[in-house]
Structure 1
Amino acid sequence: MLKKIMTIMLSATLLMSSIVPISALDRVDRIKGSNNYETASKIADKRNFSSVILVNADKTIADGLSAAALAGATNGVILLTSKDSIPSWTQKKIDKVTEVYIIGDDEAISESIENKIKSDGKVVKRLGGKDRYDTSYQVAEEVKSITGKLEKVFIANGLKGEADIVSTSPVSYREKAPILLTNGKDIKDDIKEIADDSIERFIIGGTAVVSGNVEKRINNSVRIGGKNRFYTNKMIIDRFYSNPKDFNIVDTSDYTIAVISCSISTEKPIVLVDYRHDPIALKEARNITAVGNIADHTISKAIGYSGGLNRFNYDWTKNKYIAHALGGVGGKAYTNSPQAIEHNYNKGFRVFEIDLTFSKDGELIAWHPSSKERLREMGIPEKYASEKPTVSEFKKLKYYGKYNTMTFKEAISYMRKYKDMYLVTDFKDSLDKDVQKLYRKIVEESGQDVIDRIIPQAYTDYTYHDIMKTNQFKSMIFTTYKLKRIDENEITNFCALNGIKVLVIDYRFYTPSLVERCKTKGIKLYMNTYNDQNVVNSYTKKGVSGFYTDFLTP
């Protein structure tokens, strides 16, 4: 079973999905601290800044909802504090600036905190009204005093429009455009006045969030609102960004991190993500940064919707069939023989799976361990059921009296002969400690002219990482036949997060839900091993992409 999913390297790096992705990702990064204080600090590390906007979000981000424009106007970053103490991550950033704004009254951030910052020689200004609406007004007035004129303002619902507000916050930061908060039903006179004084006015959210009454009171306003937060999110991106390919993704309910991310999202829009919904704004994404504490299955859905992570080349998956053990020949399977390669290449196979192990004297040979009964049937001495032959002994053997044995080097010679041949490697030894040894040998014996057509099979997360330590292979399969059980969500997350786009199962693990998870996360599902065309046709109709086979014809 997968051992340490969270060891995934993101930089190198479910439910039904109705929209087919048309792009693919080049890169997935992550910004995440041990808590929100540290995450905010890590976000600040991504840009130069000359002021700090201090917010207490321990209970609510209400005060911070309108902070983005002020941060933009002062070239600042939004950082977090508790009421009575400043976390070390935040203090280190405050130490770098001379100007600090405190958002909220002394019930949110205490006077002792304010005095402490002043005593450190900082210029401190507090903006905090009797409620979130008044605070948004004070912030807007401060931005206006800094910029001289408000080019844009956004009017939003401060009670139930948080998702719309955080979608807007990067534009608010970039354009120094205040977000003015209402209760969604009416608008205070002072907020209306400052809104009407700006050049452009945008109402964020549909009429269920910000009523038509509010819209009527705002002069010449433009409403931006979709049928839900995800559509509104996309509409904001479409309106204020020019064909972006890079995005910051934030969990749809993590308003705190979304607001703080405004300072790094002026060119890379914030996209709200939820594993239950298609991330429609990511259809053309090429690079994604996951910010904050986002669940792996949510990130992997975002990756899948974007076409998957372009870590590997999967051109070979245009082939539905993989020749199992180099394919059957003369009605016989498991020969791993040169005759099997020739026969099946001529049948139309281009992707071949080969069983590999070390000979007794350390050479890499094509060999499928078998029982005494199977060896007897194949005409091979029974002693090799419990011990491996030396390479010289191996080369003297013939399966069924006529099919030659083959070393890995000899298999590689066929790849040089057939330039469109791919080789899927199946390591038959059970000792995981030998995986790196095996793949170092594969790299050594393959050569640069064929190594890019070698497709390793990983059996666990740690064998995957061991394989990739030996060589940056151009393709990869995750196969499950050595596992006793699987967690569908865990295993598809691992594949998506590492750019593995082929998952192989057998009948034990097939479920419609696994097919849907693979589809959602940009993974093709293959199955092994089938020789009945009716069974293959049935699974194909159920969404399986490919099959290992001994005898079927491509």
Structure 2
Amino acid sequence: MRNKLLYSLLVVCALGIVLLAIWQRPAEPSFTGFKAHRIIAHAMGGIEDMTYTNTRDAFIANYEKGTRVFEVDLLLSKDDQLIARHEWGQFFTNMLRQQDGISEERSGAVWSAEEFKQAKVDGRYEPLFWDDIVELLAEYPDIYIVTDTKQIKPEEIDSIFAKIVDSTKRKDPNLLERIVPQIYNQPMLGQIKQYYPFDSVIYTLYQSQDSDRQVVNFARSNGIAAVTVSEGRVNEQLVKSLKRAGIPTYVHTINDMKLVSDYKKMGVYGFYSDFLAGDQADSAS
């Protein structure tokens, strides 16, 4: 009888310890806005076998798969128009299979807006101006656009964000609430906020020289919405420190569900991806 009583007491104590541990474990934060989504479509997401297209067609394909947050690469054209393209050069033109849409002597040059629009990706996919992206924001009220400005000199950032804000305000100032700029260094935050006080800003680290401690302190002190890191930069201590500050970590660019699972175990919240879409990251254990 005594042994049974002792056993029962031990079971009750063990159960109490487990329940206490569960109660004390910090709950997974409930995010809103763009952070309600774990997947961000990289360069508007992949389409068929292609990546980095930044096209309307890629947007539609990934929206239909359930994705609602879209990163877009932004460059200034030769005639100072804001366009969705990752880089200039012969190699990139060939990669996007645009050779037939542009003359050979111009394929490696910085294009005008007209050249950009005529050179369809893979001969069929529609390139996007920033104004086209604003139209997508208006047409699809549940999407968010994450900017990846490929020119980062201060004067280039001034020009790009002046165009982003002016163009969007002309269409509908409320659309600015669904634009999420990425910054690449600490001074850039103050620079872009001269043009608009964006609610959500991502600090992406692929060009940053900040230490992990500097990243965490800056993000916490300045209300940074999320921090994005490459696979080469991500580490458990950084992820945990950001999580304690209530800041989710995203990793780029991930197309493998096994990696999603591994990084989620580390504490990573979300992923930039070419081919994962919708709620796929939620299902990874």
Taking structure 2 as the reference length, what is the TM-score of the superposition? 0.81
Partner of 2:119: 397
Deviations 1:233-290 (A, max 9, x none): xxxxxxxxxxxxxxxxxxxxxxxxxxxxxxxxxxxxxxxxxxxxxxxxxxxxxxxxxx
1:339 aligns with 2:57: yes
Shift of 1:388: 1.7
Q: What secondary structure is seen at the aligned counterpart in 2 of 1:470?
A: coil
Q: What secondary structure is seen at the aligned counterpart in 2 of 1:450?
A: helix
1:505 aligns with 2:238: no
Q: What secondary structure is seen at the aligned counterpart in 1 of 2:232?
A: helix
Shift of 1:469: 1.1
Give 2:97's aligned amino acid.
G
Partner of 2:211: 487
Equivalent residue for 1:452, pick from 169, 177, 189: 177
Give 1:544's aligned amino acid.
V
Deviations 1:119-155 (A, max 9, x none): xxxxxxxxxxxxxxxxxxxxxxxxxxxxxxxxxxxxx
Q: Residues 543, 385 of structure 1: CA spacing in aligned structure 2 closer, same or farther, 3 A cutoff?
A: farther
Q: What secondary structure is seen at the aligned counterpart in 2 of 1:509?
A: coil
| Mapped partners of 2:105, 2:133: distance in 1 | 25
| Mapped partners of 2:36, 2:202: distance in 1 | 15
Q: What secondary structure is seen at the aligned counterpart in 1 of 2:87?
A: coil
Partner of 2:90: 372
Give 1:515's aligned amino acid.
V
Partner of 2:248: 524
Partner of 1:229: none
1:355 aligns with 2:93: no
Shift of 1:523: 1.0
| Mapped partners of 1:539, 1:444: distance in 2 | 38
Equivalent residue for 1:318, pick from 36, 48, 68: 36
| Mapped partners of 2:54, 2:33: distance in 1 | 24
Structure 1: any 5+ residue segments left out of the alignment?
A: 1-17, 23-306, 308-312
Q: Residues 358, 370 of structure 1: CA spacing in aligned structure 2 closer, same or farther, 3 A cutoff?
A: closer
Q: Residues 478, 394 of structure 1: CA spacing in aligned structure 2 closer, same or farther, 3 A cutoff?
A: same
- Tell me if the contact between 1:515 and 1:543 (Cα under 8 Å) persists in the aligned partners: yes
| Mapped partners of 1:541, 1:402: distance in 2 | 40
| Mapped partners of 2:117, 2:132: distance in 1 | 11
Q: Residues 384, 502 of structure 1: CA spacing in aligned structure 2 closer, same or farther, 3 A cutoff?
A: farther
Partner of 1:423: 145
Give 1:356's aligned amino acid.
L
Shift of 1:401: 1.2
- Tell me if the contact between 1:364 and 1:408 (Cα under 8 Å) persists in the aligned partners: yes
Q: What secondary structure is seen at the aligned counterpart in 1 of 2:83?
A: strand
Q: Percent identity?
A: 32
Shift of 1:371: 4.6
Equivalent residue for 2:158, pick from 436, 441, 446: 436
Q: What is the correspondence of 1:235-250 to structure 2 with a 5 Å cutoff?
A: none
Deviations 1:29-67 (A, max 9, x none): xxxxxxxxxxxxxxxxxxxxxxxxxxxxxxxxxxxxxxx
Partner of 1:412: 134
- Tell me if the contact between 2:93 and 2:108 (Cα under 8 Å) persists in the aligned partners: no
CA RMSD across the alignment: 2.0
Give 1:520's aligned amino acid.
R
| Mapped partners of 2:158, 2:26: distance in 1 | 37
Aligned length: 247
Shift of 1:19: 6.1
Shift of 1:387: 3.0
Shift of 1:385: 6.8
| Mapped partners of 2:154, 2:55: distance in 1 | 26
Q: Residues 496, 385 of structure 1: CA spacing in aligned structure 2 closer, same or farther, 3 A cutoff?
A: farther
Give 2:40's aligned amino acid.
I
Give 1:502's aligned amino acid.
A
Give 1:472's aligned amino acid.
P
Q: What secondary structure is seen at the aligned counterpart in 1 of 2:54?
A: coil
- Tell me if the contact between 2:89 and 2:109 (Cα under 8 Å) persists in the aligned partners: no
Partner of 1:463: 188
1:515 aligns with 2:221: no
Structure 2: any 5+ residue segments left out of the alignment?
A: 1-23, 279-285
Shift of 1:432: 2.6
Equivalent residue for 2:263, pick from 525, 539, 554: 539
Q: What secondary structure is seen at the aligned counterpart in 1 of 2:258?
A: helix
Equivalent residue for 1:553, pick from 274, 277, 282: 277
- Tell me if the contact between 1:486 and 1:509 (Cα under 8 Å) persists in the aligned partners: no
Partner of 2:198: 473
Shift of 1:521: 1.4
Q: What is the correspondence of 1:129-140 to structure 2 with a 5 Å cutoff?
A: none
Give 1:461's aligned amino acid.
Q
Larger proportion of helix = 2
Shift of 1:331: 1.9
Shift of 1:501: 2.7
| Mapped partners of 1:398, 1:355: distance in 2 | 16
Q: What secondary structure is seen at the aligned counterpart in 2 of 1:399?
A: coil
> Is the radius of gyration larger for structure 1 or structure 2?
1
Shift of 1:373: 2.6
| Mapped partners of 2:117, 2:63: distance in 1 | 23
Partner of 1:249: none
| Mapped partners of 1:462, 1:543: distance in 2 | 28
- Tell me if the contact between 1:372 and 1:383 (Cα under 8 Å) persists in the aligned partners: no
Q: Residues 392, 376 of structure 1: CA spacing in aligned structure 2 closer, same or farther, 3 A cutoff?
A: same
| Mapped partners of 2:51, 2:127: distance in 1 | 13
Bigger relative contact order (CA 8 A; separation at least 6): 2
Partner of 1:100: none
- Tell me if the contact between 2:88 and 2:109 (Cα under 8 Å) persists in the aligned partners: no
Larger proportion of strand = 1
Q: Residues 385, 540 of structure 1: CA spacing in aligned structure 2 closer, same or farther, 3 A cutoff?
A: farther
| Mapped partners of 1:465, 1:508: distance in 2 | 27
